[in-house]
Each structure stands twice: as structure tokens, then as C-alpha cells.
């Protein structure tokens, strides 16, 4: 979600068009909670799978664990808060006081824009794995993945800290300081580049290189020699993110040049599309990663075995004999 203005996660706004208002209500009051609930269940399941099993000791698992957590924060704190504000007509967090306005805009930017950089890190990891396998043994490790994630959040913290002095409460609303001096203008373009332009261009180039690399290596190597599992899932997640967030980026640039006094239909549609990324994550992993599917089936089978009660009415043995035999076995 590349948001340049003061949307602060509150998507629904007032408009004069009745039909447009009905569309907004249908999307963000009735459909948004379905997306939040579905996405929350999917990301909790994905987090459980990436936390243990085969993915725990892989660099790709580190990126996916953090990405699942960030998705949950986006679903609960941003989209969930938007639904509560719109449905119950309450104040959003950023409008409560001056300090919540500043802290929330800072926190909101770090959480929202960490998603795209985590996907960049994941795509770089899989690109090295496919196109530079010798370097991948040295670079695609759990330790270096953790270091890369730490750099992502430190960098976003530095870039987003300007929100602490760029936003203020005016007429009960948290807005950007109307005094648009040269410093604020330059800083906004810098942050826009870090939030949108640089990661989007990086993903576009990496996806093309990764697709070419997979095609070439599949032609030269036998399938048994190289396991490309989760490369397809990485491409699907990356392409989906670009497709669902590109309309919002274009809308933001348009609004930055000519900031409207009302919420346009483009803003509503682009914001709604961006809600689909956290929800689609689990399904993309499920569809494109065989290892992910196998881990999910294995977890479900283990859970069913644990929950299955022991049948004491066995033929030719009573429950007391069974317990005695069982105790002797474990001794």
C-alpha cells in the first residue's frame, strides 16, 4: 500500500455521491470483515507451518514467518480498525490526540511498507538460489536472512520517523502539516521512492530475471538435481503484490500532483485491492508450493491422531490388559 497522504489506514470517507457511498459501504462495511477474517485464519495457519518443520531451517522460512506476522498486524490494526471506525462511527487511533497522531503515522508506515521490502528480500533469496546456486550456499542462510530483515526495519524506521513531526491534529483530524516547505516536499519524495518506486522497480526486474533463470536451468538440469520448490510461490506472491498495489501507487501519484477534496472511485478500488494481498498469501503458498501443502497435510494428520480417542473396546483384550501391556512397552 503506497499511501502518500494522510489516509492512516482509515479507508472509508465521506462523499457526496449516493451511489458511490453505497458502493463504499458495500465494500468496506460488509466485504472487508470477510477479507480480514479469512486472511487472519490463513496467515495464522501459514505462520504455524513456517515456524516449524522443513521451513524452520531455511532462509525462505524466515522471510515468510515475518511476512505472516506483518500481514496479521495489517489485517487487525489497519483494515480491522478501518472497519470498526466505519461501522460504529468511532474515532480512529490517529485522531485521539496529538501524540497518537504522530506515533500512529510512524508505526503505520513501518508496518505497511515492510511488506514490499520483505517480498523483495524473499525474491532476492530465490533469485540467488536459482541463478547463482554456488553463491546461494553462502548467502541464502537463516542468519543472513535475519540480518536482512533487521536492515529492512531499521531503514524503514529511519525513513518513517519524519511522520513524528510532519503530522498534527487540526479540527479534530490528524493531517499532514499544511506548511509545505522545501524540507517536507523533499522528504515526501524520498519516502515515496523508498516506499514505492525503488521496491516496485526491484521486484519487476527480479521477477523477470527469476523467470528467465528458472526457464534456463530447467532446460539444462534434470529435475532431480535441483529442487525449485517455493520459487513458483515466490513469483506468485511477488506478481500478485505488484498487480494489487500498482493501481494504488498510480492513484497516489495522481493525488500527490492534484490532491482532491473528496475520495475518488479510483481511491476506493485501489485501497480495496490492496486488502487482498494479506488474504491471498496463504492460498498462493498452498497452490504453488508442494512442500507447503505436504507440511499442512502432515500437521492436520498429527492433530487428528492426537485428538483421536483410544478405543478400549478391542476384540480379545479388555482395557485393563491394554493399559498393562502399554505400560510394559514403554518400560
Number of Cα atoms under 13 Å in the Cβ half of residue 199: 29
Q: How many CB atoms lie within 10 A of CB 291?
A: 18
Decide the pairing of beta strands 173-176 and 167-170.
antiparallel
Q: How much helix, strand and coil, in percent to the nearest 5, is found in the chain?
A: 80, 0, 20
What is the pLDDT, as a whole number, of residue 173?
A: 86
Structure-block grid coordinates of residue 301: 494428520
Q: Is the per-residue pLDDT at 45 higher than 80?
A: yes
d(CA 46, CA 316) in angstroms, rounded, equals 44
CB 3, CB 250: distance < 8 Å: no
Least confident piece of the model among 102-111, 134-143, 173-182, 219-228: 219-228
* Whether pLDDT at 23 is above 60: yes
Task: Tell me the pLDDT tens digit for each residue of 152-166.
Answer: 999 999 999 988 888
Strand partners, 169: 174
More confident residue, 331 or 242: 242
Distance CA 89, CA 202 (A): 40
Q: What is the pLDDT of residues 248-275, one digit of tens each?
A: 888 777 766 665 545 567 777 787 888 8
List, for residues 268-325, the tens digit of each pLDDT value.
778 788 888 999 999 999 999 988 999 999 988 887 766 555 454 444 444 433 333 3
Is residue 272 within 8 Å of 28, Cβ to Cβ?
Answer: yes
How does the average pLDDT of the chain come out, rounded? 80
Element of type H or E holding 79:
none
pLDDT band at residue 206 using 50, 70 and 90 as cut-offs: very high
C-alpha dihedral, 110 to 122 to 289 to 43, nearest 10° = -10
Q: Which residue has the higher pLDDT, 92 or 229?
A: 92
Share of the chain above pLDDT 70, in %: 78
Q: Is the dihedral of CA 171, 173, 178, 179 positive or negative?
A: positive
Residue with C-alpha cell 498534527? 168
Homologous superfamily assigned to 18-288:
Rhodopsin 7-helix transmembrane proteins (1.20.1070.10)
The whole-model pTM stands at: 0.82
3-state secondary structure of 236: helix
Enumerate the domain spans of the chain. 18-288
Amino acid at each position: 500500500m503506497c499511501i502518500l497522504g494522510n489516509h492512516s489506514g482509515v479507508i472509508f470517507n465521506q462523499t457526496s455521491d449516493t451511489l458511490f457511498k453505497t458502493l463504499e459501504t458495500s465494500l468496506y462495511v460488509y466485504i472487508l470483515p470477510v477479507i480480514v477474517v479469512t486472511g487472519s485464519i490463513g496467515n495464522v495457519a501459514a505462520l504455524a507451518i513456517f515456524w516449524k518443520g522443513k521451513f524452520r531451517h531455511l532462509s525462505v522460512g524466515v522471510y515468510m514467518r515475518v511476512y505472516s506476522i506483518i500481514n496479521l498486524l495489517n489485517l487487525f490494526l489497519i483494515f480491522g480498525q478501518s472497519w470498526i471506525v466505519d461501522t460504529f462511527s468511532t474515532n480512529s487511533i490517529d485522531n485521539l490526540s496529538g501524540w497518537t497522531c504522530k506515533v500512529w503515522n510512524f508505526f503505520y508506515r513501518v508496518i505497511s511498507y515492510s511488506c514490499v521490502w520483505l517480498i523483495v528480500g524473499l525474491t532476492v533469496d530465490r533469485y540467488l538460489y536459482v541463478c547463482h546456486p554456488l553463491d546461494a550456499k553462502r548467502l541464502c542462510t537463516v542468519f543472513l536472512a535475519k540480518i536482512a530483515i533487521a536492515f529492512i526495519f531499521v531503514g524503514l524506521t529511519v525513513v518513517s520517523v519524519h511522520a513524528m513531526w510532519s503530522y498534527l491534529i487540526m479540527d479534530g483530524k490528524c493531517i499532514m502539516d499544511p506548511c509545505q516547505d522545501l524540507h517536507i516536499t523533499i522528504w515526501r519524495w524520498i519516502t515515496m521512492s523508498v516506499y514505492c518506486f525503488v521496491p516496485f522497480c526491484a521486484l519487476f526486474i527480479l521477477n523477470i530475471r527469476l523467470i528467465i533463470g528458472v526457464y534456463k536451468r530447467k532446460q539444462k538440469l534434470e529435475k532431480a538435481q535441483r529442487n525449485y520448490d517455493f520459487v513458483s510461490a515466490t513469483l506468485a506472491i511477488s506478481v500478485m503484490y505488484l498487480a494489487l498495489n500498482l493501481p494504488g501507487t498510480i492513484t497516489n501519484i495522481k493525488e500527490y500532483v492534484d490532491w482532491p477534496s473528496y475520495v475518488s472511485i479510483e481511491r476506493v478500488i485501489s485501497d480495496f485491492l490492496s486488502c487482498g494481498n494479506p488474504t491471498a498469501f496463504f492460498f498462493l503458498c498452498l497452490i504453488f508450493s508442494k512442500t507447503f501443502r505436504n507440511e499442512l497435510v502432515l500437521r492436520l494428520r498429527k492433530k487428528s491422531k492426537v485428538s483421536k480417542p483410544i478405543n478400549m473396546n478391542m476384540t480379545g483384550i479388555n482395557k485393563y490388559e491394554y493399559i498393562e501391556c502399554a505400560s510394559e512397552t514403554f518400560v
